[in-house]
A = this chain, B = another copy of it.
């Protein structure tokens, strides 16, 4: 039990500041993942480029939200959780956004023409993980539904495991069937960036689990 959680029995906490910002940041990640899924499933390269630009804009919006959370941390003496956990959660959500944008960016930069099944599957998994991330974040404000948060975190872990599996299988297939080394490297890099986005969801889930653990 930290001094901070000790204080919370006496001092009413203003949750009005942090939770809306966290919810907006998580919704923003869901928006990015939704656009990503749309982009990798699009048949038109013009549409795809438009959608990738949208991801860039959303990522900028996410950066601003993260920055606002940091600013509020500087201003507020009493926070609903330990200050370091608020910082860590904001950073983790920002990392998910960064990797979604990083994946989109690589697909664009490497001039990928074939949006393969593993690319689409991993994008789907990112969207699933982001949805659970948002759900968990929304429940954080009242720690009544600890079970719900824990369940979302477990599902995020399962998404990450599935993404690992898809990635490993896809890379093994590249080694079996792709004889052009340059193409192989390109695809491996893109798949790795997508898979890392699900790792970052797991990092965010770990931060939330440790918030639960501290405030249990």
A residues neighboring B (CB under 8 Å)? 1-4, 6-7, 70, 73-74, 77, 83-84, 87, 91, 102, 105-106, 109-111, 164, 168-169, 171-172, 175-176, 179, 181-182, 184-186, 188-189, 206, 209-210, 212-214, 216
Alpha-carbon distance A213/B179, docked complex (angstroms): 52
Chain B: which residue is nearest A4 at the CB level? B1
Residue picked from A73, A106, A188, most chain B C-beta under 10 Å: A73
- A87: which B residues are within 8 A, CB to CB? 206, 209-210, 213
- A73: which B residues are within 8 A, CB to CB? 213, 216
Chain B: which residue is nearest A5 at the CB level? B3
Alpha-carbon distance A210/B74, docked complex (angstroms): 10
- A111: which B residues are within 8 A, CB to CB? 175-176
Q: In whole Å, how far is A100's beta carbon from the nearest beta carbon of chain B?
A: 14
Beta-carbon contact of B179 and A182 below 8 Å: yes
Alpha-carbon distance A207/B179, docked complex (angstroms): 43
13 more contacts with CB within 8 A, not counting A84-B213, A87-B206, A185-B185, are A1-B4, A2-B3, A3-B6, A70-B213, A73-B213, A83-B210, A84-B214, A91-B206, A105-B168, A109-B172, A109-B175, A110-B172, A175-B185
- A91: which B residues are within 8 A, CB to CB? 206
Beta-carbon contact of A185 and B186 below 8 Å: no
Alpha-carbon distance A102/B74, docked complex (angstroms): 36
> Within the complex, which residue of B1, B169, B216 is in contact with A3, where a contact is CB–CB below 8 Å?
B1
Q: In whole Å, how far is A101's beta carbon from the nearest beta carbon of chain B?
A: 10
Q: In whole Å, how far is A107's beta carbon from the nearest beta carbon of chain B?
A: 11
Beta-carbon contact of A169 and B109 below 8 Å: yes
